[in-house]
Structure 1
């Protein structure tokens, strides 16, 4: 797959996000040992236990030049079994690496080391349609079949975080916080990151675990929902609550005063809005960002999303000029957003624009051009144009993936239904989604490492 289209301004050091960053991250894995002394057919795994490392399955000890059906299966938190398959032919030595051997048939095409993982699907669908991960690890079982006989099997347990990462539930009535805190092993102090979920209001615990595994102390809050003391709807959320999250992290003995913020979708909007107003964030990562203050997707008359000192932040109004089309039975919201932008005059756009040039830290924007919620071809250029000024003295970069959709999260999981979300069509297709996540993740880690100048590993 092609890499992202990367925008940088004159102050950005792209070398900090080069392939070397990904290689450094991949090099931190712990090898899974295999028994190489037997010629019994077996599946060897070249990789590590961490979820952000690639799995490279290799068939060893098979009959030369033989067709072997390799299957993968995993069970998610909803007790649904996901499966994939690849039919590969062994070479003259009786081996076949899935990283270099294209399957003759199966659930994916081309030589792909992670093809069996991202192409896993359901034999039947019931909501939710994405792979639900709830817990610190993921187990994948690989089987190799010749004819009707299973001749080798290997189960791999992949962990979001190694031993030593601690998890704490957070409820702070004084600061109005509810969520999860993840702390890396070691004395610290560690740089901190606030990880903000989107409209779905599920805390980004997987981001939290995986960033903690890389040396960051992470607060993954739920910032609206039914729990007290947080607001019950995404309406007039105080931007000051993001500052409270940062100061909560800074109050921990194991955390430095260098804090970053990561957000996805409405969480990215929240992150950019808050970082534009408060100087507590030294690094920002905005995934599927918006350039304006908008109501949440699907909320037509609920009111503005944000508030400052009890007053609503100016919001771009819905034009009502576009009939929202459907794809696979779901709404394509980006059509309406484009109509809203076209209908607004310049004064309305200026009032609702996020003043990102006021951010006091490094900014990384991440998005897919097939995003059917927020149109990235509109949003990222608008954001980068505001940041490309003489007065903004921090690093700026964007990672734009041509065929990825709205969902770009932690890597190496099934992405077959990434484009489907509740009542909304999210865009993107399985392989580009998987490639975008695998490429973006080490770059995000490296970005925070540089921006926060901490002891992340």
Structure 2
């Protein structure tokens, strides 16, 4: 029996081809995937397949008959990777270091044990990189700015993008490094709970984000006519605030967030944007009966909340909302529609919504594993993200090229006109 994966080394957002052959015809077999992350945590998945008349299984064509998913899903073994230790989430921390090594195992029978003791009939291994050859990573400690700048190979100049993650702090680089691998000069921007930045989100200074725009635009490898910004969750809220108040934001990608200042007050010079307090929804899950927290905002149409709603109509560039309709962490579809209606009311017609039924909060680059619920280091409770395996991961596959096309189309690029 044989098992192959092609290519054996690829970027983490690229699909691969998995094939098995030398099997008895019409036999149920098991293909299993596993990896260890940088912390030593194990993640695994498995699916059952029936070999064809020639004793072959091709994940591009063969439907899974059971296991972690059903149907024809060539990357299903990647989508469904789940932790041995419950509620851990697979995230790449050191993007410039070693790749994730995913081990594939073929068992010539229906293997019902998720962690089989018997040896596989065939194995294969592939390496999943988060940075392409030639991409440079530059640590950013410029004034009070903290982050990491990724520059693609070549002379440039390149379209600049600022990448902002959610409300748990730190510096997260894997989406940034993949965007740089696709030709964007991308700044992964930390804004709290990192190095000497504030430890908590008590308040945010929008001038800090404006400094990031100025820093990126002035880099000799970056087009200076304007930059893009992509934000997720709390980062999406800040991306929309940047678009609404900072004129050099040329394009904004907003992924599953709120369209009003939430929780923490935001200041921009003399302007103060009050944060709407969160309402916490708590549910219990079994068997552990762990508490799941889903933050909720109140009705944004209430007069007392109007000062917090972001004036999307003031944005100079287009805005793309990416929404998981089964988001359990944020009422993303409601917020996106609210912002679209406000934009149209004021005559701004370049606001768009891409909405994905069955997708949850964590819309990641393609091939990223699905996570319904996970732990977060800064929270004592579990966080409910929502979504369903197949539609969520299909949304990730669909949205990634849409993001890149939107940024390429709308960020102007010339060697002149620096800030």
Say if 2:385 is the partner of 1:426: yes
SS class of match (2:259): coil
User: Which residue of structure 2 lines up, in the alignment, with residue 82 of structure 1?
Assistant: 43
Change (3 A) 1:245 1:259: same
Q: How does 1:224-239 map to 2 (within 5 A)?
A: 224-228=192-196, 230-239=197-206
Say if 2:348 is the partner of 1:398: no
User: Which residue of structure 1 lines up, in the alignment, with residue 108 of structure 2?
Assistant: 146
Does the 8 Å contact 1:198/1:268 carry over to 2? yes
Instruction: From 369, 381, 403, give the equivalent of 1:444.
Output: 403
Q: How does 1:116-265 map to 2 (within 5 A)?
A: 116-125=77-86, 129-136=88-95, 137-147=99-109, 150-173=120-143, 176-228=144-196, 230-257=197-224, 258-265=226-233
Say if 2:243 is the partner of 1:312: no
CA distance in 2: counterparts of 1:99 and 1:211, whole angstroms:
26
Does the 8 Å contact 2:171/2:194 carry over to 1? no
Does the 8 Å contact 1:47/1:53 carry over to 2? no
CA distance in 1: counterparts of 2:22 and 2:136, whole angstroms:
41
**Alignment gaps of 5+ in structure 1:** 1-39, 296-303
Instruction: From 326, 329, 332, give the equivalent of 2:283.
Output: 326
CA apart distance, 1:184:
0.2
CA distance in 2: counterparts of 1:421 and 1:404, whole angstroms:
19
Change (3 A) 1:378 1:238: same
RMSD, matched Cα: 2.2
User: Which residue of structure 1 lines up, in the alignment, with residue 332 of structure 2?
Assistant: 376
SS class of match (2:64): coil
Change (3 A) 1:410 1:232: same
How many residues align structurally?
393
CA apart distance, 1:317:
4.5
SS class of match (1:282): strand
Instruction: From 55, 67, 87, give the equivalent of 1:94.
Output: 55
CA distance in 2: counterparts of 1:116 and 1:345, whole angstroms:
44
User: Which residue of structure 2 lines up, in the alignment, with residue 24 of structure 1?
Assistant: none
Q: Deviations over 1:339-395 (max 9, x none)?
A: x21xx66422322211011001111001212222221232111011122246425x3
TM-score (normalizing by structure 2): 0.87
TM-score (normalizing by structure 1): 0.80
Q: Which has the higher contact order (CA 8 A, sep 6+)?
A: 1
Does the 8 Å contact 1:47/1:56 carry over to 2? no
Does the 8 Å contact 1:420/1:427 carry over to 2? no
Q: Deviations over 1:2-46 (max 9, x none)?
A: xxxxxxxxxxxxxxxxxxxxxxxxxxxxxxxxxxxxxx6232436
**Alignment gaps of 5+ in structure 2:** 110-117, 415-419
Instruction: From 19, 35, 38, give the equivalent of 1:58.
Output: 19
